[in-house]
Amino acid sequence: MPALTSKSLRDNRRALIGWTAGIGAFFTLYLSFYPNVADNPGLYGDVALTKFPGAMRDLMGGLEGGFTSGSGYLQALVYQLFGPLLFIMCAAVLGNRAIARPEESGTLELTLTLPVTRRRLLLERFAALALSLLGVAAVTLVIVLVLSAAVGLGVPADRILAGHTGVLLLALFFGTLCLTVGAATRRPGTALAVVGTVAVAGYVVETMGKGVDAISWLRWVSPFHYYLDGRPIQLGFPVWEYLVLAGAIAVLVLVAIPAFDRRDVGV
């Protein structure tokens, strides 16, 4: 493994352990509630969910299948909003640690005194970001698979893998966006603000845009569209949508390289 990538992984190990434990605990908590939900269709079934305001139902993905079905519960409470939100927060923190945060603290200048090009530095930091998120996703995927079988969700493992892959790609997109903005501006606060704005706006546009014609066309520029619209928990891998997300990640990296290469590095 390249030296800069392995060093970044070592530097991030405590954060990775913390985020993995936190996300795993969240999944464990919510999945453990499913048997109680399934046993009370009067409280959580389709009829009960019609009492939710339309806007709330849209933000929760329409609540298709209700909470009492395994796929509906898994989609609404794990893979619709809260799971992706936690992964995006983790990715933003790690993306900020790639370029912007070390530059603000003054350690990046020291790294650049070594015989290493800026392009190599950025690519290896991106590789560390991707490997870090992959590690968090792998551990939490095992947790979801084990708990899904234990509580009787009845969702095939390949559908859970499809949903988890989408969350990983979505998180990597926002982590790379944070890295790119940080590489271009050297301001970690700005990078986090951009990620937060794009994430909130993208989610609202994707969920609310299905019922609001005035903003429906914006769904095509939302990264959430290429994760949620394919309905991986219900239908399996949306290959083309995931390829779009992967392509967007590659474009962000290609933008970050010249942006970082051409500006002065300093504090």
Looking at the 3D structure of the chain, how many domains does it have? 1
Residue 267: inside a domain: no
Residue 17: inside a domain: yes
What percent of the chain has a predicted confidence (pLDDT) above 70?
A: 88
pLDDT tens-digit series, residues 121-152: 999 999 999 999 999 999 999 999 999 999 98
Is 234:159 a contact under the CB 8 Å cutoff?
Answer: yes
- Report the predicted TM-score, pTM, of the whole model to 2 decimal places: 0.92
Residue 44: inside a domain: yes
Residue 161: inside a domain: yes
Band of the pLDDT at 267, cuts 50, 70, 90? very low
170 is in which domain, residue-wise?
3-262
Residue 89: inside a domain: yes
Decide if pLDDT at 61 tops 60. no
The answer to which of 60-74, 194-208, 214-228 has the lowest mean pLDDT is: 60-74
For residues 57 and 35, which has the higher predicted lDDT (pLDDT)?
35
In sequence order, the 6+-apart residues with CB closer than 8 A to the CB of 122 are 98, 99, 179, 183, 253, 256, 257, 260
Residue 128: inside a domain: yes
The pLDDT of residue 223: 95
Residue type, 166: G
